[in-house]
Amino acid sequence: MTVTATPVREEAVPEPAAGRRLIDKVFKARELAVAAVLLVMLGATQLSNTEFLSEQGIKDLLLNATILVLVATGQAVVVITRNVDLSVGSVLGISAFAAGTYLQDGGSSLIAILLAVALGALFGALNGALVSLGKVPALVVTLGTLYIVRGIDSIWVGSQQITADDLPNGFVDFGHDGIWVVPYLALLALAVLAAVGYYLRSYRSGREMYALGSSPEAATLAGVPVRKRIMTAYVLCGALAGLAGALYLARFGNVDSATGSGYELTVVSAVVVGGVAFTGGSGSVYGAALGALLLTSINSVLPAIGVSSVWVTAINGILLLLAIAVDRILALRVAAVLRKQAAQLRSARHA
């Protein structure tokens, strides 16, 4: 066939106004929906109970969120690579106990924290190895390690427990002190969050995690070192679960063989609410952190406005559903609006 036609698409699409583009972006940002829900909720609670956002209240909110934020950050990274780590609760538990045992014998706080992080990273590496080398479904593998680590933990811990009495005072104080209303633990979590977020956004290897989650085949063809990236994600997730374990110890001053059991569901909820898709490749750790903040805040809001604890579970579930449903409906609306805009643009060009 002889091609005589001149190239067709020479008339460039008019560059959309920068302002509109910004608005689109803002509307598309799922994090915003979560943040809005959070603010409305906190505001409303403050109106009905002025104690809620008192100095102590804010401190409590931040402290409560800290541990979940850390674990959710790690989980989000794993989920972005289209995997999942269900063993985080077990890893948190065993790392907390390890740190506690070390401190009980008179160790230093810093080394205890590092120990917990290292132990967590070790279990993360185990998960990562099983998932990436075996190329097997992460859900099953980490459900397996959830049981295995919990089992090892209960055999090791037995009926022992670490109580505040066993811990150095400095460590326990670190668990609740802070600078004005911002506890040290929250500062630490924030720093970790920012670092991980920045890494994912601004480094090749971080971008490759998104690529990998978005399409594993395409990632292989693009030369992304798939195993290495999955490994990194799991090690990071494990390490953060370990860190969270150490902070749990500082915060609650108490660890036994059941510490952290069932935590995986809370973490997964936080990640989901925060808009990180389980199909991989989308969402951000900031979203996951906001999700974590939202979930823990609900648990503080309900008692604070005097809702009987009998209702808490139900309201929790319904709010979770509302959060994801509203987010989804907003997204659909925005998509429809954008489609209409495109139509107008096109017919304007057509005319």
Partner 1 sequence: MTHPEPETTPVLALEGVSKSFGAVRALRGVSLRLYAGEAHALAGENGAGKSTLIKALAGVHRPDTGTVLLDGEPVEFHGPADARDAGVAVIYQEPTLFPDLSVAENIFMGRQPRRALGRVDHASVRRATADLFARLGVDLDPDQPARGLSIADQQLVEIAKALSFDARVLIMDEPTAALTGSEVARLFGVVRTLREQGAAVLFISHRLEEIFQLCQRVTTLRDGAWIASEPLDGLTEDDLVRRMVGRDLAELYPKQDTRTGEVALSVRRLTREGVFTDVSFDVRRGEIVGLAGLVGAGRSEVARAVFGVDRFDGGEVEVLGTRLKPGAPSLAMAAGLALVPEDRRAQGLVMDMSIERNIGLTGFADTTRAGLMNRKAERSRSVDWAVRLQVKYARLGDVVGTLSGGNQQKVVLAKWLATAPQVLIVDEPTRGIDVGTKAEVHRLLSALAAEGVAVLMISSDLPEILGMADRVLVMHEGRLSAELTRAEATEESVMAAATGRTNQGSAA
Partner 2 sequence: GGTTKDDAAKEGGTAAAGKADPNAETKKDLTVAFLPKQVNNPYFTTADNGGKKAVESLGSTYKEVGTSSGTDTAGQVSYVNTLTQQQADAIAVSAQDPGALCTALKQAMKNGVSVVTYDSDTKADCRQVFVSQASAEDLGRTQVQEMAKQIGGKGEIAILSAAQTATNQNTWIDFMKDELKKPEYKDIKLVKTAYGDDDAQKSFQQTQGLLQEHPKLAGIISPTTVGIKAAAQYLAGSKYKGKVKLTGLGTPNDMRAYVKNGTVEAFELWDPAKLGALAAHTAVALESGQITGQEGEKFKAGDLGEFTVGKDGVVSLGKPTVFSKSNIDDFDF
Partner 3 sequence: MRWDSAVGALLLVLLICSFSFVDNFGNALNLSFLIGNTLPIALIALPMTMLVISGEVDLSVGSTAGLSGAVMGALWNAGMAIETIIPICLLLGVVCGLVNGLLVTRLGLPSLAVTIGTMAAYRGIAQIVLGSDSVTDFPTQYLDFGAGRIGDTFIPYALFPFLVLLAIAVVVLHATPTGRSLFAIGASEEAARFSGIRVKRLKLSMFVTTGVLSALTGVFWALHYASARYDNATGLELSVIAAVLLGGIDFDGGKGTLGGAIAGVFLLGTLQNAMSLQNVSAQSQIVVTGVLLVISVLGPRIGRQVAQARARRRTAAAPPPQAAPST
Q: Where does this chain bind partner 1 (CB under 8 A)?
A: 1-10, 12-13, 201-204, 207-208, 210-211, 213-215, 217-225, 277, 280-282, 339-343, 346-347, 349-350
Question: Chain centroid to CA 283: how far?
Answer: 10
**Residue (57 or 85) nearer to partner 3, CB:** 85
Binding site for partner 2 (CB under 8 A): 49, 51-52, 54-57, 60, 64, 154, 157-161, 163-165, 172-173, 175-177, 252-254, 256-259, 261, 299-300, 302-306, 309-310
Residue 150 in contact with partner 3, rule: CB under 8 A:
yes
| Per CB under 8 A, 297 contacts partner 3 | no
Q: Is 148 in the site for partner 3 (CB under 8 A)?
A: yes
Single out the residue of 32, 114, 315, 330 in contact with partner 3 (rule: CB under 8 A). 315
Q: How far is the CB of 99 from partner 2 (least distance, A)?
A: 16
Which of partner 3, partner 1, partner 2, none does residue 343 bind to, with CB < 5 to 8 Å depending on kind? Answer: partner 1
- The DSSP bridge partners found for residue 183 are 178
* Residue 207 interaction partner, one of partner 2, partner 3, partner 1, none, beta carbon < 5-8 Å per kind: partner 1
Q: Which does residue 217 touch among partner 2, partner 1, partner 3, none (CB within 5 to 8 A, set by kind)?
A: partner 1
- Give the C-alpha separation, 266 to 282, whole Å: 20
* Burial class of residue 207 (count of CB atoms within 10 Å of its CB; 0-12, 13-18, 19+): middle
Query: Is residue 245 exposed (0-12), middle (13-18) or buried (19+ Cβ within 10 Å)?
Result: buried
Q: Is 182 helix (H, G, I), strand (E, B) or coil?
A: strand
Distance CA 251, CA 260 (A): 13
Q: Which two tokens stand for residue 55?
A: 């100095």
Q: How far is the CB of 70 from partner 2 (least distance, A)?
A: 14
Q: Does the footprint of partner 3 cover residue 321 (CB under 8 A)?
A: yes
Q: What does the alpha-carbon distance between residue 151 and residue 139 come to, in Å, rounded to a whole number? A: 18
CB 285 within 8 A of CB 210: no
